[in-house]
Structure 1
Amino acid sequence: MAESQSLTKEELINFLRPNKPFEPKIGIEIELGAVNPQSGKSVPYYGPNGSRAMLEAIWADDEWTPILEGDALLGIKRHDGATITLEHGGALEYSSIPMASVGELVRVTQQDLLRFARLVEEKCGSSLLAFGNTPFDTRADFALVPKKRARIMEEYCTGLGEEGSMAWRLMVQALSTQVTYDFASEEDMSRKMRALVPAAPVSTALFANSPIQDGIVDGVLSHRSQAWLQYDPRRCGTLPMALKDSMTFDEYVEWLFDVPMMFSAEGGQYVPMHGRTFRELWEGDRDDLPHSILSIWKTHISAIFTDVRLRNTIELRSIDGQSFADIPAVPAFWTGILYHPPSLDAVWNLFRHKTLEDVNKAQSEVCQTGLKASYGNDSVRELAAQMLEFARQGLQARVDMGLENAEILEFLNPLEEIVSTGNTRAEQVLQRWNTEFDRSPVKFVEAYRVKEQP
């Protein structure tokens, strides 16, 4: 049996451990809608205004390496390690390199996004939409870019019936702003996960920003988060082992062993796994596997979509895509909490007694009512206010230590406004939609496309 087929469980666990000395850095991933500025609908993959042409326009402007599947251009990687890849429905996902400060991360990200948007507009006549979803796409517009795994994922979720019924929306419509953080050890990982996992419903409410779907307003404030409730509950939502005083890598791996696998990948070859669990693979005959056991493990971990995802970093996924002006608030808020131990512990104390039932109920409710929701016996708005204060204290501490410039404290101002008024960005969008925008997709795109701020 090949060495790659006989890895120990400890070696699988080691894939989750940090692979370098601890240097607390911050990464950001931003999904931007690639849309027609007149209709607001996503552009196709092919054609002069399509998402492939967008990648080619950006590629021609700097030192990028193409990311290909056969002849399909699905992304580009810059010489510094930053990437732009196409999501399944054609959205562009920008992934930064990890950086040591919020200020530097925001500066580079804003410069990059503005340059990309200018190139896309000049070369393709399309717009990059910074929002929580592409609000004017419908099921009739459902079209996947030529990613091999996209069809496998679609078929897998279709086979789940009602439990996977919203997967197509997440593949085609949803846009997010995600941030990643480092941890130093298993103990540090546990300390962070136990605070972040039960905080996810408050994060969903605070950053709710997808109130229009299929061009329709129906009262939901975060359609993106609501869709995650019907993707596949076995790989999404809340990690139950994090709702304790401590969490171990072994517990997480044991949970991963029983999550059905969608596909495996190696060398650009994608093979359906038809819901087989990793435990079945691990305890059975491995001689007929389509790929090495390590490749299957790595792919399996990448297809876990919990609100907080653990790999060798911690990724926060419960955040709707934000407007261009509000993007800095995301890393500012979470860095103030995660990289300031007193703030991190204070957040955990807010949620340490929450049960899995509490978390799941609150997560469902905040999609509808945002900060007006309840979380057990607590007010989501009050919890958000307390978290925001802890984040500000953490950022101030970083400023005092010389790790950040004082202006980063201003990045929290949009969240201060949201908490003080109790109105999420989603509710503010609806107000503008019915008045200032006169329900016009043209005016909507003009307001929320990536552009220089006044």
Structure 2
Amino acid sequence: MSSDSGGAAGEPIQYRDLLDYFSKPPASAGSGATVPGRIEGCSACVGIEYELLAVEPVTGVAVPFASEHRPGVEAAFLGLLSSPDYSPAEGPLPPTTLSRGRASINLEPGGQTEISGSPWRTLAEVDGELRAILGDLVLRARERGFVFLSHALQPVSASGEIELVPKRRYRIMAEHLEQHGGRRYRDMMTRTASVQASFDFTSEADAGRKMRLAMLAAPVVAALFANSPVEGGRESGLASVRTAIWRETDPARSGVVTCAFDGEWSWERYVEFALDVPAILVRATDGGVAPAGGRTFRQLLRDGVEGRPAEMADWELHLSTIFTEARAKRVLEVRSADAPPPGTGMALPALWTGLLYHPPSLEGALELLAPHRGELNALFDAAAREGLRGRTGGGVALAPLARELVALSSAGLAARGMGEERFLAPAAEWAAAGRSPAEELLERFRRGGVAALVEAAAVRMEE
């Protein structure tokens, strides 16, 4: 998620500006422009977002944001400022976003700690930065008596027991989603964690192919990374509760983007989709954020915002509250995976790098998955229920699709010639065995309860 800052006041925007947002400036050398999420001159960079859950050792109970009785998540987060590598991002104090070079560390609505990495040319660079930040966070947590889990769902505490991080953005989002977000919106905000990745596109057509694959592959990726089988301290009966929660969250802004499939892809069609999603946030006059009043962005563009014309800051805020399985901003973000076991987080950007940045693998994956376009909903349900063991009522099994995707990705990584296949190894093992991470975690839970789950999912310095 983003900061409370709504950005500085800007020029009024028109429909054409919404289209230009995606296509200008491109990630081209010599553009002279700084594009968030991109490196000038790099058209095939990779970024990672990795969310961690702060819990009490042994019990797995959520660590509060702040507490009179013991240091909370905020204390560990602000403890990063003892290192010269970190600085507060612009916005209200105390900060909920810190900067480390081009990377940022953010506190999510339920106190989840999100590492939003810099864009890098190689997976080794992504991994190096991720390990450095993880090490800093784990040290701060250990000093304060708690641990960070690489796990997709708070395993014990209910959403009503987790306070929202005191941030205007999150309060406004909660108020909107209470009315429109479905019965599990609060679980989505406070109890879930994922690993995501972002990728460049070089043209409108390139973005369309990548978006199409991101949507078609989403349930397969959800099954491959399924890692949230325990809820409320008990077996949930699902491989990925997180996927099930997202399936129930505000259908106007979640799920798949149908314009990736139906007819010819264009930025105009994507903009038309985004215009009709009810807005949650707009830029406030004080530079922060304010409620959008449930109006669609089409209405804001036509009628204005709080007595002024709509601006690019409003559009960027709006795009950040579209929660589809993949979404386009200046980069393409893929969002379907549970946060996986410790030490395996790089498998997600590796999988997608091999698929999206190697045209033969991209086309092969599209050919593999296109016949199952009509069964996406059934595939998502099967992924949430059984992970890689899932199959639809029509007999489509997830495990063979996952094995094929991993093989295509491995070929794509090999073609890059950087030895990056090693990052894909955990996903290759899950796919070959037909077992999602949830299965091993559930076995440990059955033997040793929540304490065993915490032991298995806790991030350690060597990760």
List aligned pairs for 1:53-452, cutoff 5 A.
53-67=75-89, 69-78=91-100, 80-122=101-143, 124-160=144-180, 164-244=182-262, 246-266=264-284, 268-283=287-302, 285-286=303-304, 288-289=306-307, 292-355=310-373, 357-374=374-391, 377-399=395-417, 404=418, 406=419, 408-435=420-447, 438-441=448-451, 443-452=452-461
1:198 Cα deviation after fit: 1.1
- Separation of aligned partners in 2, 1:446 and 1:265: 43
- Separation of aligned partners in 2, 1:309 and 1:60: 35
Q: Is the Cα contact below 8 Å between 1:261 and 1:276 reproduced in 2?
A: yes
Q: Is the Cα contact below 8 Å between 1:96 and 1:109 reproduced in 2?
A: yes
Q: Is the Cα contact below 8 Å between 1:194 and 1:244 reproduced in 2?
A: no
CA RMSD across the alignment: 2.0
- Separation of aligned partners in 2, 1:204 and 1:38: 28
1:93 Cα deviation after fit: 0.5
Q: Secondary structure at the match of 1:90?
A: coil
- Separation of aligned partners in 1, 2:458 and 2:246: 25
Q: 1:367-397 CA deviation, whole Å, 9 max, x = no partner?
A: 0011222355532111111101001100111
Q: Is the Cα contact below 8 Å between 2:60 and 2:450 reproduced in 1?
A: no
- Separation of aligned partners in 1, 2:428 and 2:107: 33
Q: Secondary structure at the match of 1:264?
A: strand
Q: Which runs of 5+ in 2 are unaligned?
A: 1-8, 29-41
> Structure 1 pair 102/63, CA: closer, same or farther in 2 (3 Å)?
closer
TM-score of the two chains, using structure 1 as the length reference: 0.91
1:9 is aligned, of 5, 15, 22, to: 15
- Separation of aligned partners in 2, 1:196 and 1:381: 17
What letter matches 1:11 in structure 2? D
1:268 Cα deviation after fit: 4.3
Q: 1:18-37 CA deviation, whole Å, 9 max, x = no partner?
A: 53315210000100112221
Query: Matched residue pairs, number?
Result: 437
> Structure 1 pair 4/113, CA: closer, same or farther in 2 (3 Å)?
closer
Q: Is the Cα contact below 8 Å between 2:300 and 2:310 reproduced in 1?
A: no
Q: Is the Cα contact below 8 Å between 1:243 and 1:352 reproduced in 2?
A: no
Q: Does 1:29 align with 2:49?
A: yes
What letter matches 2:431 in structure 1? V
Q: Which runs of 5+ in 1 are unaligned?
A: none
Q: Which stretches of structure 1, 4 residues or more, deviate above 6 A after TM superposition?
A: none
> Structure 1 pair 133/440, CA: closer, same or farther in 2 (3 Å)?
closer
> Structure 1 pair 287/103, CA: closer, same or farther in 2 (3 Å)?
closer
Deviates more, 1:372-381 or 1:95-104: 372-381
Q: Secondary structure at the match of 2:23?
A: coil
Q: Does 1:51 align with 2:73?
A: yes
- Separation of aligned partners in 2, 1:295 and 1:325: 37
Q: Is the Cα contact below 8 Å between 1:204 and 1:225 reproduced in 2?
A: yes
2:39 is aligned to none
- Separation of aligned partners in 2, 1:31 and 1:291: 35
1:69 Cα deviation after fit: 5.0
TM-score of the two chains, using structure 2 as the length reference: 0.89
